[in-house]
Structure formats: structure tokens, C-alpha cells
């Protein structure tokens, strides 16, 4: 396996640019170790997610305000601890109760018709998911759906239970900005439309 390293320096760039540029590097050099350099936490988290979704071994090191994300492709024996003080971010082992479905939550109530009824149904829906034998792999929140992961949401307890069970939870950053909730996120991480659209094209998605 090649020991080639490709450095993607996207400091000063906001998502989805760091994710897109990292993916381009992976596609262009599939055997190379990709080292992406970013200077904000949202980009850091989204690049880490990209690496893990591609089954790369992911390590991260912070130097000053910059994050160096080292992604080693599957089967490459080059060890991430070549980088001094690198803390490896281990991919969560998929547990038997997490299936392959991805949920896209487009609003903060369930179904059409009465929004009051829809909000009651949503609360029951999340509780049922926490009790279900098979849970979704990921849940993305867009538009008013992002209100459910923010401070004050009545769904936080159930969503936290899902996160604890291994479900990946992420909310659209543009949507959080629109509703003024970016600083109020209590569950999961902040993602972008590139990640969500990529999931739409490559994974089994259910839109609610």
C-alpha cells in the first residue's frame, strides 16, 4: 500500500467546501492518506464524518487554531500514530439494533393536516423509536425540523436515548442559522446540505 500523503488545506473555508475538497482528494488518490486542515469545529466534525463514512481510519490533532484530520484508507497499514499526540477517533461499532435506514426530518411535526396533532404524533414517534428493536442509522434534521434538537425541545430526552444507542444525529447548519438556533443545539452535530444530499443519493432514506 502506498505511503503517499495528500494535504488538503482548507483553512478559512466553511462547509461544505472542506468536505467536498476532501472527497475530491479521496477520489483522486484512493490509496493515499488524506490530511485535511481546517480551522473551525463544524468543518472538523463534518470531515471526520466523511472519513468514517468511507471506512477510513481517522485521527485528529489540534495545533493552535488548526485541526489536522488524518484519514487512512481501508487496508493501509500506515499507522495514524505516526503523527505525534494524535488522538484516534474510533468509528462506533454498529450494534445489532441499528439498521441501515436514514431519516430526513423536514419539519417539527409529523404528517399533514393538523400541526397540533402532528406535534403530538412526533413525540409518540420518537418514543416508539427508542423502544424499537431496530433503530435508524442516521437522522438528519432540516427546515423547522432543526427545532427538535435545540434547547427547549420536548424531544431532547428521546433523541438523546437514540444518540446513546448509536444513532447519528445531525442538523442542517443553514436551517439553524435561519431560525437563530445554531448556539442552542443540544443533541448531535451540525452538518450541511452536501452531506445530506450525498446521503440521499447513496443510502436508504425515509423523508418525514
CATH number of the domain within which 188 lies: 3.40.1260.10
Confidence of residue 97 (pLDDT cuts 50, 70, 90): low
Looking at the structure, tell me whether residues 194 and 141 fall in a common domain: yes
| 81 plus 106 within the same structural domain | no
Length of the chain: 208
* pLDDT at residue 90, as a whole number: 38
Q: Is there a contact between 106 and 193 (Cβ–Cβ < 8 Å)? A: no
Residue-averaged pLDDT of the chain = 85
Q: Which H/E stretch holds residue 89?
A: strand 87-89
pLDDT range class, residue 4, cuts 50, 70, 90: confident
User: How many domains does the structure of the chain reveal?
Assistant: 2
* 62-83 residue pLDDT tens: 988 999 999 999 876 544 444 4
- Among 111, 112, 126, 203, smallest CA distance to 163 is for 126
Query: pLDDT at position 77, please?
Result: 55
Residue 91 pLDDT greater than 70, yes or no: no
Pair 107, 51 in one domain: no
**Which pLDDT value is given to residue 3?**
66
CA dist list (Å): 2 to 7, 46, 48, 51, 96 = 15, 26, 22, 18, 34
pLDDT at 98: 58
State the average pLDDT over residues 160-184. 92
Determine the pLDDT at residue 10: 93
Range of the domain at 119: 102-207
- Looking at the fold, whether 123 and 56 belong to one and the same domain comes out as no
Mean pLDDT of 7-18: 88
For position 79, what pLDDT does the model report?
47
**What is the per-residue pLDDT for 74?**
86
12 and 82 both lie in a single domain:
yes
> Do 83 and 68 form a contact (C-beta atoms < 8 A)?
yes
Residue 100 has pLDDT above 50, yes or no: yes
What Rg, from alpha-carbon coordinates, does the chain have? 18
Decide which of 30, 62, 89 is a domain's last residue.
Answer: 89
Q: Are the C-beta atoms of residues 160 and 191 closer than 8 Å to each other?
A: no
pTM for this entry: 0.65
| Angle made by CA atoms 76, 82, 88, in degrees to the nearest 5 | 75
Residue with cell 485541526: 67
More confidently predicted of 193 and 131? 193
Find the range with the poorest average confidence among 84-88, 164-168, 180-184. 84-88
Residue range 187-199: mean pLDDT, rounded: 89
DSSP-based three-state secondary structure for 139: strand
- In this structure, of 128-132, 138-142, 156-160, 201-205, the range with the lowest mean pLDDT score is 128-132
Of 156, 146, 74, 73, residue with least CA distance to 108? 146
Of 73, 68, 61, which Cα lies nearest the Cα of 32? 73
Residue-wise pLDDT tens digits, 148-158: 999 999 999 99
Q: In this structure, are 136 and 195 located in the same domain?
A: yes
Q: What are the helix (H) ranges across the chain?
A: 17-28, 41-53, 115-131, 156-164, 173-178, 193-202
* Long-range residue pairs from 177-182, CB within 8 A, at least 24 positions apart, any chain: 179/144, 179/146, 179/147, 179/150, 181/146, 181/147, 181/150
Residue 60 lies in a domain: yes
Amino acid at each position: 500500500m502506498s505511503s503517499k500523503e495528500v494535504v488538503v488545506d482548507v483553512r478559512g473555508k466553511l462547509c461544505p467546501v472542506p468536505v467536498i475538497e476532501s472527497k475530491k482528494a479521496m477520489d483522486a488518490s484512493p490509496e493515499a492518506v488524506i490530511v485535511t486542515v481546517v480551522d473551525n469545529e463544524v468543518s472538523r466534525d463534518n470531515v471526520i464524518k466523511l472519513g468514517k463514512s468511507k471506512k477510513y481510519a481517522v485521527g485528529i490533532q489540534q495545533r493552535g487554531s488548526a485541526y489536522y484530520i488524518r484519514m487512512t484508507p481501508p487496508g493501509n497499514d500506515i499507522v495514524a500514530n505516526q503523527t505525534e499526540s494524535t488522538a484516534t477517533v474510533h468509528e462506533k461499532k454498529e450494534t445489532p439494533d441499528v439498521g441501515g435506514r436514514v431519516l430526513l426530518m423536514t419539519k417539527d411535526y409529523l404528517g399533514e393536516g393538523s400541526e397540533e396533532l402532528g406535534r403530538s404524533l412526533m413525540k409518540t414517534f420518537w418514543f416508539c423509536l427508542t423502544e424499537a428493536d431496530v433503530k435508524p442509522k442516521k437522522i438528519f434534521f432540516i427546515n423547522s425540523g432543526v427545532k427538535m434538537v435545540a434547547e427547549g425541545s420536548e424531544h431532547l430526552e428521546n433523541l438523546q436515548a437514540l444518540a446513546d444507542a448509536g444513532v447519528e444525529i445531525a442538523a442542517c447548519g443553514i436551517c439553524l442559522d435561519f431560525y437563530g438556533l445554531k448556539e442552542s443545539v443540544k443533541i448531535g452535530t451540525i452538518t450541511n446540505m452536501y452531506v445530506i444530499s450525498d446521503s440521499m443519493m447513496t443510502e436508504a432514506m425515509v423523508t418525514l
